[in-house]
Amino acid sequence: MQTINRTQLFRASCLSLLVTSLSFGIRAGILNDQGVKFHLNNSELGTIAATAFWGFPLAIIIGGFIVDIIGMKKLLVSAFVFHLLGILLTIFADGYWTLFLSTLLIGIANGTVEAACNPLVASLYTENKTTKLNHFHLWFPAGIVIGTLLVFGLDNLLGHGVSPKPYWISQVEIGLMLIPTLIYGYLFSSLKFPVTQRVADGVSTGEMYKALVNPLFFFMIICMFGTAITELFTNQWTDVLFKTVTNNAILILTFVASIQVLGRAFASPIVHRLAPQGVLLISAILSALGIYLLIHLHGDAIFLGAIIFGLGIAFFWPCMIGFVAENLPRTGAVGLNLMGGAGMFAVSIYMIFMGGYYDRFILGKLPTGANLDAYRSAPAGTDLAKAYDAARTAAGPEVLNTTLIIPIVLIFAFGGLVIYMRSKNKAAVALA
């Protein structure tokens, strides 16, 4: 009889998350090129980018409710199918709606991966959940690093740094995602899976739903809105917001993601010393400081802000999931996946709102009655292109200024959580 190979399952989980993050890293690198190719304004680009965040919560929430019924293996095989279809449709996209649909399919695939892999990792490593979730989730920023470097390298190698680059290069960059997708699809189809921890512990479905109405769980859901927006919106729009500020805008995202990888790789001593809630408080402080510096620094000095911002967001997602897994374990896979779904849903709404806001601000800096697409598509070096770049330079800080409010609010929220958990733990010790 086939036995459960914990190491192989963990490695396959990391590879599936790598595909998920490659979709973010490569998409961030070609988002601007897609806008030029298909004559899309920033509002339309924001909607396309947000579509991945619609599919994600849809899949992760539905997956959370059915994972105990159909099993984690079937969910991950379906994720492979959605990834394959989404990637192929992106390669052969011919306009707004095909990009919309392809991004939706990839978002569904991404959400399905997390719907299965978060409870899988928590079930495989019951003795060390938050640390192993950090190790698992380091592959999200790792994929962003790989994706952005691929885009940067191929742009310069094949496109010789010409802007806008030939669109076939973007198609090649998307096509590279097929390699790890096919590998993880094969691995998951051949491995045996355990049941989720909630099922293994004998917690009934009724007890799980009862645990979901805990006020602490609601509080964490609300905080997840803020942590997800702070991390994912800023990362996904890096190339758009900083294109006119530095010649290597996409490398800002690479810097941020590299810091996230290092932080999550060495999370164990930090998490054990500070507990998830302490790490979250420090993360909120550093995130706010990082965004502030990204707004006010210019040229290569922006990379200092990127480093601090990367340190801030490094632990957000895995420590939010880890806190629930450790302190609210009876919520089961549904609890973990509601957290992820809430975060992605919040990002999708925020992206649509900020995409329109960005367009309106740019238009406000252009002559009255200006056609945004005409300015956006103008050849480099023309008066229209220069005016558009100047308007974008002014608009980027405004978008980040609005986003800065969110981690500032989180500082107070997580400060309160630290105090609450400290008093709760003291009470538990006194009763022991």
Domain-embedded: residue 279: yes
Is 175 exposed, middle or buried (CB count within 10 Å of its CB: 0-12, 13-18, 19+)? Answer: middle
pLDDT score for 360: 85
If pLDDT is split at 50, 70 and 90, which confidence band does 247 have?
Answer: low
Chain segment 43-96, per-residue pLDDT in tens: 788 788 778 777 888 898 898 888 888 889 999 999 999 999 999 998 888 888
Alpha-carbon torsion angle 169, 175, 177, 180, nearest 10: -130
If pLDDT is split at 50, 70 and 90, which confidence band does 32 have?
Answer: confident
If pLDDT is split at 50, 70 and 90, which confidence band does 431 have?
Answer: low
Sign of the torsion formed by the C-alpha atoms of 283, 284, 287 and 292:
negative
If pLDDT is split at 50, 70 and 90, which confidence band does 367 have?
Answer: confident
Q: Which CATH number characterizes residue 34's domain?
A: 1.20.1250.20
Enclosing domain of residue 150: 6-431
Q: Which residue has the tokens 């304004």?
A: 41
Domain-embedded: residue 248: yes
Pick the more confident residue, 171 or 243. 171
Q: What is the percent of the chain where pLDDT is above 90? A: 40
Domain-embedded: residue 20: yes
Pick the more confident residue, 14 or 425. 14
Domain-embedded: residue 103: yes
Chain segment 200-240, per-residue pLDDT in tens: 888 888 899 898 999 999 999 999 999 999 998 887 666 66
Domain-embedded: residue 1: no
pLDDT score for 242: 65
pLDDT score for 162: 65
What single-letter DSSP state applies at residue 297?
Answer: -
Pick the more confident residue, 162 or 298. 298
Domain-embedded: residue 56: yes
CA distance 274 to 334: 26
Please count the other Cβ atoms lying within 10 Å of the Cβ belonging to residue 127: 6
Least confident residue range of 2-6, 76-80, 210-214, 314-318: 2-6
* DSSP string computed for 126-161: TTSHHHHHHHHHTHHHHHHHHHHHHHHHHHHHHSTT
Domain-embedded: residue 281: yes
pLDDT score for 246: 60
Total domain count, the chain: 1
Domain-embedded: residue 29: yes
Please, which residues have CB within 8 angstroms of residue 194's CB and are 6 or more apart in sequence?
Answer: 4, 120, 123, 124, 200
Does residue 244 have a pLDDT over 60? Answer: no
Does residue 366 have a pLDDT over 80? Answer: yes
pLDDT score for 284: 98
